[in-house]
A and B are shown apart, each in its own frame.
Chain A
Amino acid sequence: MVKEIERYGIPIVHMATITTISQSVGANRIVPTVAIPYPTGNPNLPLEDEYKLRYSLVERAVNALATAVDEPTQFEG
């Protein structure tokens, strides 16, 4: 899905936990996430800290959309 959407020339970030799959199928902008059942969350954290974590992941992803890449690239924290 990521690739087909990007084929239209729209930049897209794949936010995924198993980044090896994401990388091997050819997603170009990848933000590694927390865990399979909660990619953008962490129920083990207090709510406020969890939200901060989520915000930082989303911010990183949005910034990745504004970053030029020429090959599959992981945006680590």
Chain B
Amino acid sequence: MDLEETLLPGIGVRYRLRTSAGEVLGIVVRREGGAELAVYDRRDPDRARGVLRLEPDEVDALAEVLGAPRLTQRFADLSREVPGLESGRFLIQEGSRFAGRPLGDTRARTLTGCSVVAIVRDTDVVPSPGPADTLRAGDVLVAIGSASGLQELAAHLAGPA
């Protein structure tokens, strides 16, 4: 797989993904949270055509659809071994009080008993993050814990500043 990342100053980031079928998918992720998906013109491979514009909530929905099964798959096995243990994904919203602060500041384990086992950031995954790892808006926290603990954690992370 061939994924190329280019900075678009003032706009966001552009990704170009060459699929094994030989087609090129262009993805522009705007820093406001929206995105554009594009395929390229055969005659002029520099030119995007058929641009699909997504608003931030639509981007989240798409990411959820594409990203959720694979990630939760990994923790599903673990959950099966320990009855009552479940996993959940939590988005650090734009303007969240935890954006820009270290993971430790959420006091997730103290308050809810849940462990944050990974931070998903764009295409990267930070496995087993430490309390000093800084959270950014747009990060997705993967946490495991009891069902009620996960609910509390969701409320805690989304709570007002």
B is bound to A? no
| A interface residues (Cβ-Cβ under 8 A, vs B) | none
Binding site for A on B (CB under 8 A): none
